[in-house]
Structures are given as structure tokens and as C-alpha cells.
Structure 1
Amino acid sequence: MDKDFNMLVNFRQIIKFFEFSLQDIRKKYNLTKIEMDIISFLFNNPSYDTASDIVELRMLQKGNVSQAVDLLIKKELLIKKTDALDKRKIHLILTENSNNITEEISNAKLKFKQQIFKDFTTEELDTYNYLNNKIVNNVKTELGKDE
């Protein structure tokens, strides 16, 4: 198999495995993938709490995020709060009803990391993180050229 193609397949397999690791939580709480993404994002990034932040940083479609936010509000997992200084800015805040979900997501992510980095030495993890950061920076640079 072509090395470049193999790399893309590997990325996709890791993503699939991560999605699989969250599957039971999604089913248990009757959540869509994007609803899980939003809950997880808001939990892990409290300073990025607007729909625009989610769209930009998670690279999701604006309409899909808007629809999922509305559903999460109906499910009482999320509330909207208008910014005190800028009335046009709406903050998204997880409710207490989401606490069990965020705890289970955190546990699933920890287990996922333990599984994919099983048998890695500390040095290998450091090397992986270093190389991964270089790749991500290259991707961000290339994506930014079109803006």
C-alpha cells in the first residue's frame, strides 16, 4: 500500500476507534455524534464557549452546530447566556444535567488514550507528541493560506 495512502487510512482508523469508544455513551444518552462533540468541546474548552468557536475550532458546519445546540437546549443539557458586554455574543453553558455525560466522556477518552498508547515508552510518547505537533502546524499553515 502507498505510504501516503496508508497514513490517511491510519488517521481514519484512529478516528473510527475513537468514535467507537464513545458509541455506548451516545446510545445511553440518545445523543448524535455532533451533540457529543459539542458537549465534549464545551467541557474541555471552557474559554471557547460560543457556537462560532465550535464551528471554527472543530471545523463543523454552522447549520449543523446550530441545530445540535437547539436540540441540546431542548434536552436541558445546555443553556444560552447573552454576553454582558456584547449582546450579540451568546455563550453556551453546560447544565448540571450534562455532568454524568461529561464524566463518562472523560473516562472514555482516558481509556482510549491508554489503549492507543499501550506499550509506548515515555520517550516514544514525547517523540509522537513532537511530530504530531509539527504535522498539525503544517496543516494549519496550509489551511490558513486559503483564508
Structure 2
Amino acid sequence: MESVFRHYAANESLYTATVSPVCEKYGLTYMEFTVLMFLANNPQFDTASDIVKYRHLTKSHVSMSVRSLEDKGLLTGEHHKPNRRTIHLTVLDAADAIVAAGRKAQQAFGKILFSGFSDSEYEQFTAFMKRIDQNIADHIDLTQKK
């Protein structure tokens, strides 16, 4: 089990190193980059609560990053009827170059991770990850029902 945690830490370090040049080029913090890319890659999840839930980030970090991205003209937030309390976030066209560079960096990260994998090995890995995700979801459901 220790190797899983070591793998996770190495994975996170590699990802950070891969996307850091994009952050530096566009003057973004890592957290701002993370929020922006989450919204760009997952348009169906467009609230700060979604970011907190699915990326497991703190509310305060997400809130500060959203505010900063709005100040930089990269994001906008608006209320949709009928729930006027929820702010829906939209990535603006001004972020297009950043998003493109971010996606390119994310693809480079994926290429590094799966270098030397055959198609069948990649498919097998994906199947294992889906099973792990389902195990996690099932466990969370069980613990929340107690």
C-alpha cells in the first residue's frame, strides 16, 4: 500500500513540473491554473462547489482563485434562475491561449505516464481505474448512509 502513496506523490510532482511552465508564462498560481483547467475541461461542473467537490480543494483556495481569475478577466460568474444563490462560472475567451497551453501540458503529462504501454495495457489500466473509482464511490455511499 505504501507504494500506492509513493506513486501518488510522484504523479503529483510530475504533473506540477509539467504544468508549471504554463503557470509561469501566464502569471497564474498553480491553484488558479487548476481551477481554470477544471472549468475548461468539465463545463458541466460550473460552480465553486463543484470544484471543491470533484477536485477536493478547500473552499477558501477555490474562492480566492475564482476571484483572482475574475480580476484577470479569465472567468465570469453569473446567477441563473431559479437558484439565485449559486454562481455559475464561465471561462472567457481571454483564457483560450492559457487553456490550449494547459491542455497541451496535460497531454504531455499523459504521454510521459503511459510511455511504453501497449493499447491493451492502457485499456486494462483504464478498466482497473474504473473499478477503483467504483469501489471508492461505493464506500463513500455506504459511509454516508450510516
State the TM-score bracket (shorter-chain normalisation): over 0.9
Cα deviations by residue, 1:49-87 (Å, 9 ceiling, x for unpaired)? 011111111111111111111111111111111113321
TM-score between the two structures when normalised by the length of structure 1: 0.92
Q: Which residue identity does 1:19 align to in structure 2?
A: T
Alignment of 1:55-94 (within 5 A): 55-94=52-91
Q: Which runs of 4+ in 1 moved over 2 A?
A: 139-147
Q: Which residue of 2 aligns with 1:50?
A: 47
Q: Which residue of 2 aligns with 1:13?
A: 10
What RMSD over aligned residues (CA atoms) do the two structures have, in Å?
1.3
Identity of aligned residues (%): 27
Q: Tell me, which stretches of 5 or more residues in structure 1 are unaligned?
A: none
Alignment of 1:1-147 (within 5 A): 4-147=1-144
Q: Which residue identity does 2:136 align to in structure 1?
A: V
* Alpha-carbon shift at residue 109 of structure 1 (Å): 1.1
Q: Which residue identity does 2:83 align to in structure 1?
A: D
Structure 2 counterpart SS, 1:31: coil
Cα deviations by residue, 1:97-132 (Å, 9 ceiling, x for unpaired)? 110000001111111111111111111001100111
Q: Tell me, which stretches of 5 or more residues in structure 2 are unaligned?
A: none
State the alpha-carbon separation in 1 of the partners of residues 4 and 46 from structure 2.
33
Q: How many residue pairs get matched?
A: 144
TM-score between the two structures when normalised by the length of structure 2: 0.92
Structure 1 counterpart SS, 2:22: helix
Per mean C-alpha deviation after superposition, the further-off stretch among 135-144 and 120-129 is: 135-144
Structure 1 counterpart SS, 2:89: strand
State the alpha-carbon separation in 1 of the partners of residues 33 and 141 from structure 2.
27
